[in-house]
Amino acid sequence: MSTTMNFSDEQLAVMDTIIARYPKSRSAIMPLLHYVQSIDGYVTERGIEAIAAKLNLATAEVTAVSTFYTQYKSEPVGEYHVGICTNTLCAIMGGDAIYESVCDKLGIKNHETTADGKISLERIECNAACDYAPVVMVNWEFFDNQTPSSVNDLVDQVRSGNPPAPTRGPSKLPTWKENSAVLAGLSDGLADQGVSAGDPSLLGLRIAHEQGQK
Amino acid sequence: MSKLSPVLSAHWDEADSFTIAGYKRHGGYNALAKALKSTPDEVIALIKESGLRGRGGAGFPTGNKWSFIPQGDNKAHYLVVNADESEPGTCKDMPLLMANPHSLIEGIIIGSYAIRANHSFIYIRGEVVHVYRRVQKAIEDAYAAGLLGKNILGSGFDLELTLHAGAGAYICGEETALLDSLEGFRGQPRLRPPFPAIAGLYAMPTVVNNVESIASVPAIIEHGVEWFQAMGTEKSKGFTLYSLSGHVANPGQFEAPLGITLREILEMAGGIRAGHQLKFWTPGGSSTPMFTAEHLDVPLDYEGVSAAGSMLGTKALQIFDETTCVVRAVLRWVEFYKHESCGKCTPCREGTWWLVQMLRDLEAGKGTEADLEKLLDLCDNIAGRSFCALADGAVSPIISSLKYFRAEYIEHQTNGGCPFDPIASTLFETAGA
């Protein structure tokens, strides 16, 4: 019996729609891996097997791709993945201090998950929001201009089941699995929520307006 | 007159700037209608003539890149947009796509028409879900408005556009690694030649362009070559996004003609954060050799930055003040390159590993002065010896920091450790250490 039987017919049909986006089926590996994470929370063995079967590849080929990319997880991830930027600029502006304080608070380290399965912690690389440093990403949504105490509060709210809204993102913070589905290309209809741009993004525009009015 | 020139960012302060209605309200998709009335070759000629150069770092003329695609070859052609913005300090494409995704969609349709592509792709980094949503919605709305799909605006031109999320690999910003990744493989750079224009995606003729380059195309078509060339410098035409970050009073995005200086941008941004002085900065991300206060008046265009010994790169102006330990900063950047090395080429895979070991010792005060020479020797054996430029980027902050701050490396040794207090460089100095 094929292992793909573990996924529902509906889920297998979604995989087919993902594959249909590409001129060559193998290109669908990455969105399919995001899709498996949206169902199982991480890249499971059954997920690898299903993708391999769909794309007519050896499981080793799918595993080789999965293990190359840091967003694909080989262990279960918490409902909320907290990524703290500790690349140079964010680290210096406070990211290192934020990371240490969150480790102390949660009693976990890089790539670990709290015992209740709520929060996973990761030191992340530059997330293209340097004018909002220090930056924290929760389930890959922007939490801008963070401090140790703001992240302390953020983690408390996440644990109490009442996570705050991202600074630039949807009105309600989606779960890890929900956002993995978005990255697989399955729309959640939340694109129109949130600001067009945060204040730093608008700084030059505002100055240009002021100068033009002089 | 303002030193700034908001074009792509002109309407980001409107609540619906990212919607198709918000985009059309300011003339959005007029350029597409205009382009479709020209021949593809005319569009390529116009972009060539404008002098638009790649905004992703290399500065290659966009129109020339398009003209390399062989015509009449009966092969599928592809336009692939590189939205994998991941170079440390670089933060222009993500706010652009969040606030104005339709400028990219319109540019893609025009560019695809020019190079005779009927299927195009946007490869966007996976760690920015809300940006993904905005681009996805923009694509859906463009299809619904007849701007994508079959017979666009009655022109007979067909285009499919697929959005593809990466999954956390800086190397996929390198165009051939990006293509391998998009084909469903590990993202590892290819040996060139053949270049993507001859054998790119699925071995077909392919153009890979940066987000900002393609998003700039509609404005050039709409306002004309003369308008575009009136901005910028002799060889660096037009407007571009400069991203100011770090120890400044007000960080943010500044869209200005090429050739503006950091001094001018800092004056507008309120300068370095209160009570501090500029120590070092990058003109275009962490892989571009660092500058100091003596470079405040370097024109930030391709030639000016290059003449001063660095690269314009992505115009990511990361500013560090005197509280920052340069050895710590460089170590962290090199740790990044080690982490992101794809492992294909030995000098990069092994070399970045050795660089990190040496820099960790140096930062901890356990190095010797002879180690600095060894470090430079290592750099010499790493740079230019791999398929792609990742390892070149890793050695660039080392070499440039040793040029300007050699004494600080030595000080770590004489001091028996880092002489800086890391809390002093945070934005919350009073918080507990």
What's the pLDDT at B401? 98
DSSP E strand boundaries for B211-277: 239-246, 252-257
Return the residue in B1, B91, B102, B323 with the most chain A beta carbons within 10 A, the one to mutate for interface testing. B91
Same domain, A40 and A59: yes
Residues spanned by the domain of A124: 80-174
On whether residue A100 sits in a domain, the answer given is yes
Same domain, A97 and A158: yes
On whether residue A14 sits in a domain, the answer given is yes
Please give the average per-residue pLDDT across B73-86, as a whole number.
Answer: 97
CB contact, 8 Å: A165 with chain B?
A: no
- Number of structural domains (chain A) is 2
- Alpha helix locations (H) across B230-325? 262-269, 302-307
Same domain, A88 and A165: yes
What's the pLDDT at B1? 65
Predicted ipTM? 0.97
On whether residue A59 sits in a domain, the answer given is yes
Give me the sheet containing A80-85, strands edge to edge: A112-113, A119-124, A80-85, A136-138, A141-143
Contacts of B7 (CB under 8 A, 6+ apart): B216, B219, B239, B255
Q: What percent of chain B has pLDDT over 90?
A: 97
What's the pLDDT at A5? 55
Interface touch B169/A70, C-beta < 8 Å: yes
Per-residue pLDDT band for A6 (boundaries 50, 70, 90) equals confident
- Alpha helix locations (H) across chain A? 9-19, 29-40, 45-55, 59-66, 88-90, 96-106, 148-159, 176-183, 199-213
Q: Are B114 and B47 in contact (CB under 8 A)?
A: yes
Which chain A residues contact residue B130 at CB under 8 A? 141-142, 166, 168-170, 190-191, 194
On whether residue A198 sits in a domain, the answer given is no
Same domain, A169 and A145: yes
Same domain, A65 and A7: yes
Q: Does residue B257 surpass a pLDDT of 60? A: yes
Per-residue pLDDT band for B431 (boundaries 50, 70, 90) equals very low
The residue among B273, B142, B424 whose CA lies nearest residue A92 is B424
Q: What separation in angstroms does the CA of A162 have from each of A146, B198, B392?
A: 18, 53, 45
Q: Does residue A1 surpass a pLDDT of 80? A: no
Portion 63-82 of A in contact with B at CB < 8 A: 64-65, 68-72
B283 min Cα distance to partner chain A (Å): 14
Chain segment B151-189, per-residue pLDDT in tens: 999 999 999 999 999 999 999 999 999 999 999 999 999
Torsion of CA B85, B87, B90, B93, to 10 degrees: -10
Buried b (16+ CB within 10 A) or exposed e, B106-133: bbbbbbbbbbbbebbbbbbbbbbbbbbb
Give the CA radius of gyration of chain A: 19
Portion 109-128 of A in contact with B at CB < 8 A: 124-128
CA-nearest residue to B268 within chain A is: A207
Q: Does residue B351 surpass a pLDDT of 80? A: yes
Q: Does residue B432 surpass a pLDDT of 70? A: no
Please give the structure tokens belonging to residue B355. 């660089």
What's the pLDDT at A206? 97
Same domain, A19 and A69: yes
Which chain A residues contact residue B184 at CB under 8 A? 24, 26-30, 55, 65
Q: Does residue A90 surpass a pLDDT of 90? A: yes
Element at B417 (helix H, strand E): none
Same domain, A53 and A124: no
Chain segment B215-228, per-residue pLDDT in tens: 999 999 999 999 99
Q: Does residue B433 surpass a pLDDT of 60? A: no
Among the partner residues A26, A69, A208, nearest to B168 by beta-carbon distance: A69
Backbone dihedral angles phi then psi of residue A196, each to the nearest 5 degrees: -70, -45
Interface touch B253/A201, C-beta < 8 Å: yes
Determine the Cα–Cα distance for residues B125 and B163; give it in Å rounded to an integer.
11
Same domain, A52 and A129: no
Per-residue pLDDT band for A213 (boundaries 50, 70, 90) equals low
Residue B125, Ramachandran bin (φ over 0: left; ψ between -120 and 50: alpha; else beta): beta
Same domain, A13 and A59: yes
Determine the Cα–Cα distance for residues B267 and B270; give it in Å rounded to an integer.
5
Which residues, in sequence order, are bridge partners of residue A123? A84
Interface touch B10/A205, C-beta < 8 Å: yes
* CATH assignment at residue A155: 3.40.30.10
Distance from chain centroid for Cα A29: 18
Portion 109-128 of B in contact with A at CB < 8 A: 119, 125-128
* CATH assignment at residue A65: 1.10.10.1590
CB contact, 8 Å: A199 with chain B?
A: yes
The overall average pLDDT reported for chain B is: 97
Ordered domains of chain B (ranges, CATH): 20-229 (3.40.50.11540), 239-321 (3.10.20.600), 326-424 (1.20.1440.230)
Distance from chain centroid for Cα A132: 18
Q: Does residue B430 surpass a pLDDT of 60? A: no
Residue B116, Ramachandran bin (φ over 0: left; ψ between -120 and 50: alpha; else beta): left
Chain segment B359-392, per-residue pLDDT in tens: 999 999 999 999 999 999 999 999 999 999 999 9
Same domain, A37 and A119: no
CB contact, 8 Å: A174 with chain B?
A: yes
A157, amino acid identity: Q
The overall average pLDDT reported for chain A is: 96
Element at B76 (helix H, strand E): none
Which chain B residues contact residue A70 at CB under 8 A? 167-169
Chain segment A97-134, per-residue pLDDT in tens: 999 999 999 999 999 999 999 999 999 999 999 999 99
The residue among A86, A79, A56 whose CA lies nearest residue A175 is A79
Same domain, A127 and A169: yes
Please report where in the chains the tokens 């940006």 appear, as a residue: B131
On whether residue A149 sits in a domain, the answer given is yes
The residue among A162, A138, A28, A135 whose CA lies nearest residue A77 is A138
Q: Does residue B44 surpass a pLDDT of 70? A: yes
Q: Are B282 and B56 in contact (CB under 8 A)?
A: no
Determine the Cα–Cα distance for residues A8 and B191; give it in Å rounded to an integer.
42
Q: Are A36 and A44 in contact (CB under 8 A)?
A: yes
Per-residue pLDDT band for A214 (boundaries 50, 70, 90) equals low
Q: Does residue A3 surpass a pLDDT of 80? A: no
Please give the average per-residue pLDDT across B322-327, as a whole number.
Answer: 98
Same domain, A88 and A13: no
Q: Using N-to-C axis directions, what is the helix angle for A148-159 and A96-106, rounded to 10°? A: 40
On whether residue A89 sits in a domain, the answer given is yes
Per-residue pLDDT band for A212 (boundaries 50, 70, 90) equals confident
Q: Are A176 and B122 in contact (CB under 8 A)?
A: no
CB contact, 8 Å: A4 with chain B?
A: no
Among A3-7, B199-203, B268-272, B298-302, name the one with the lowest average pLDDT.
Answer: A3-7
CB contact, 8 Å: B427 with chain A?
A: yes
CB contact, 8 Å: B98 with chain A?
A: yes
Which residues, in sequence order, are bridge partners of residue B320? B280
